[in-house]
Amino acid sequence: MSAADVRDAAHRENFPVASRLLPRAYRRDLMAVYGFARYVDDVGDEGDPAERPALLDEVEADLGRLYSGGSPRLPAVRALGPLVAGRGVPRTPFLHLVEANRRDQTVRRYDTFAQLLGYCELSANPVGRIVLHVFGVATPERARLSDRICSALQVIEHCQDVGEDHARGRVYLPGEDLRRFGCREADLDAPRTSPRLRRAVALQARRAATLLDEGMPLLETLSGFARTAVAGYVAGGRAALAALERGRHDVLGGAVRARRRAVLSEWVRVLKEVNGDGSRRDS
């Protein structure tokens, strides 16, 4: 994936990956993280299924080269060099992203929401933990709150991508919820979203909203550019949830995405919510 491809993909995300409101060094590091995550996802989704495990092994080996002071072979790993050297980001979150894509090769469905959150611990939460290191604000409590936000964003994406995921042979909506609402396999690749499936999607959206709310106290512990960036992620999630609701959770009838203007408006709203009337501002 070229740098231009990474930028194009970032513009399609629900949240601002590396806003121009941030200094250039932060934008560079955040785009490197995003580019790595996208590359690993592409390896796990687009490559020859027979070759994917070996390709993921090569990504892990290249991370080993990076962290041992060697020269990575993959551009997506090489781009992490300044981030690793300058920010002290540990290797484990990157390895978890690789492991999430290994799991995708063998685990195609999740029966409970708790199991899905277990997957998010590998596929989404590591990104938030890396972001905390980018801004030099990583602590165990902040990581716990960040996990709630990142899991919410992942669940929202699963809601939006029901059709695309099913075409790849994967179903991220919990099986017990699909059964609860009487969803059939045919509901997952129909031209439009059945009322049964809409109810299942709406339930996941409500759960994601709760996770976002549970992660909001993270913003109160941050200031400056860190607060601005994380507020943008929360805003993107909220705007995406609003778009899902406006679309009556018809995730198969067309792309249900928030417009950039809606994300920006929500971003301002989130920052005002955290700052309030001054009582919740940083001391």
Q: State residue 47's pLDDT score.
A: 79
User: Residue 271: pLDDT above 50?
Assistant: yes
Segment 208-267, tens digit of pLDDT: 999 999 999 999 999 999 999 999 999 999 999 999 999 999 999 877 888 888 898 999
Greater pLDDT, 7 or 16: 16
Encode pLDDT of 228-242 as tens digits: 999 999 999 999 999
Maximal CA-CA distance, the chain: 57
What is the predicted pLDDT for the residue at 224? 94
174-216 pLDDT tens trace: 999 999 999 999 999 899 999 999 999 999 999 999 999 999 9
| pTM above threshold 0.85 | yes
Per-residue pLDDT of 96-139, as tens digits, reads 999 999 999 999 999 999 999 999 999 999 999 999 999 999 99
Contact residues for 131 (Cβ-Cβ < 8 A; gap 6+): 30, 33, 146, 229, 230
**What's the pLDDT at 62?**
97
The residue to which tokens 């607060």 are assigned: 227
Going by C-alpha positions, the residue among 113, 74, 115, 114 that lies closest to residue 94 is 74
Opening angle at CA 93, ends 88 and 99, nearest 5:
150
